Structure 1
């Protein structure tokens, strides 16, 4: 096994074959499998089968499943458009936040791989560089603090949204159907008087589309950054 990261390893020389392969083709196929069936559908064996190739041929391009996952993550990073370099910090970070959410909605498995793994692929590095460059502070630790706080919100909010979508699909009920089914229990609990604020949430709060909820939370975070640093 090579010690060089997959980004630095050349692909094996091409050779005549009824099934031509490339690292790019392997990654695109893996992304499609994950989009259709989740990360459980991704393995070198399953990717090879989808490509009608022998599994051993893939090892010339990718040595482990972890490498394949890293390449898949970087492929999605390549879909996240960078902010306009001339944009102010708020506009730039808002653009990044919505671009990540859009990418994660297209590839729900992406959010599962955003934590606990180093992202050092070329597309990930461009994403990090352009995101950090949006916050033009002299103190780099403040830049890291601002971008880290915004990204923590984005990852958490998107993960919650996708988790709720998955739960709805697995239950076979829409949110409205689930609320009707759980209604009698919740009314009994609220009638105890122990949960007055939750009662207000149930009976007074307005329904918001997921995009509205995401935007509202993002506004809270950006407003907090602005207040702390005296920004607009």
Structure 2
């Protein structure tokens, strides 16, 4: 039963009792993740999760009070795979970025739920503890802005990448075919001479894949952080 004022992380589960279909928060969350992985967040509701688990929807309310709590638990379950490692702040922040990106690629719905207020589930807190501990030599006032900058970069990058995946599925055109379809239009537009800087970049710059683009952008960010630390 829901206890007023207790967050989902603190609220105990109902006691086990003999029933035809055993239930737990973990089973509920895993069923919800499977639905979201297959069909996105629109496929997740307490009723649909109950159907997947072959139980009545009211049974779920003994474990989870709302869909919002279910989404919080799903995000925290995804954070179980985000375990930054490395020696020194730069390696740990890079590891955080790479692990978060990997989790979002594995669970596309995660990209829609990252950001906003901090995640306070046990797995998210464990990840945050690892990162902040690695920043022990950094000025205390710089710690959270540094982490926020990396998280903001990752969230923006993965949302763009996931949007590209979704567009590819919706149109049936991968990035190369999409670019080829727009090629004649861009050639006509650039031939007007109105966009010389863009024309030079599009024609002459290296066209990197998503992995290289992500890592180079992350290097730009980490280089800037390193330069600021050196100045202070």
Deviations 1:170-225 (A, max 9, x none): 11101111112111221121111111121122211222121111100000001111
Secondary structure in 2 matching 1:192:
coil
Residue equivalent to 1:190:
190
The answer on whether the counterparts of 2:89 and 2:131 sit within 8 Å (CA) in structure 1 is no
Summarize the Cα distance change of 1:21–1:70 in structure 2 as closer, same or farther, 3 Å threshold. same
Partner Cα separation in structure 2 for residue 145 and residue 229 of structure 1: 12
Residue equivalent to 1:2:
3
Identify unmatched segments of 5+ residues in structure 2. none
Deviation at 1:138, TM superposition (A): 5.2
Deviations 1:87-135 (A, max 9, x none): 1111111111101111110011111111234411111111111112221
Residue equivalent to 2:71:
69
Give the number of equivalent residue pairs: 229
Instruction: Report matched runs for 1:120-159 at 5 Å.
Output: 120-137=120-137, 139-159=139-159
Residue equivalent to 1:222:
222
Deviation at 1:78, TM superposition (A): 0.8
Partner Cα separation in structure 1 for residue 40 and residue 205 of structure 2: 34
The answer on whether the counterparts of 1:93 and 1:131 sit within 8 Å (CA) in structure 2 is yes
Partner Cα separation in structure 1 for residue 209 and residue 134 of structure 2: 28
Instruction: Report matched runs for 1:5-154 at 5 Å.
Output: 5-84=7-86, 87-137=87-137, 139-154=139-154
TM-score normalised to structure 2 length: 0.94
Partner Cα separation in structure 2 for residue 44 and residue 117 of structure 1: 23
Partner Cα separation in structure 2 for residue 218 and residue 139 of structure 1: 21
Residue equivalent to 1:181:
181
The answer on whether the counterparts of 1:137 and 1:143 sit within 8 Å (CA) in structure 2 is no
Identify unmatched segments of 5+ residues in structure 1. none
Partner Cα separation in structure 2 for residue 194 and residue 34 of structure 1: 45
Deviation at 1:21, TM superposition (A): 0.6
Partner Cα separation in structure 2 for residue 39 and residue 201 of structure 1: 37
Partner Cα separation in structure 2 for residue 117 and residue 222 of structure 1: 23
Partner Cα separation in structure 2 for residue 123 and residue 224 of structure 1: 29
Secondary structure in 1 matching 2:109:
helix
Partner Cα separation in structure 1 for residue 218 and residue 115 of structure 2: 20
Partner Cα separation in structure 1 for residue 24 and residue 146 of structure 2: 39
Greater shift, 164-173 or 70-79, is seen at: 164-173
Deviation at 1:47, TM superposition (A): 0.4
Summarize the Cα distance change of 1:117–1:230 in structure 2 as closer, same or farther, 3 Å threshold. closer
Deviations 1:11-38 (A, max 9, x none): 1121211111110000011011111110
TM-score normalised to structure 1 length: 0.94
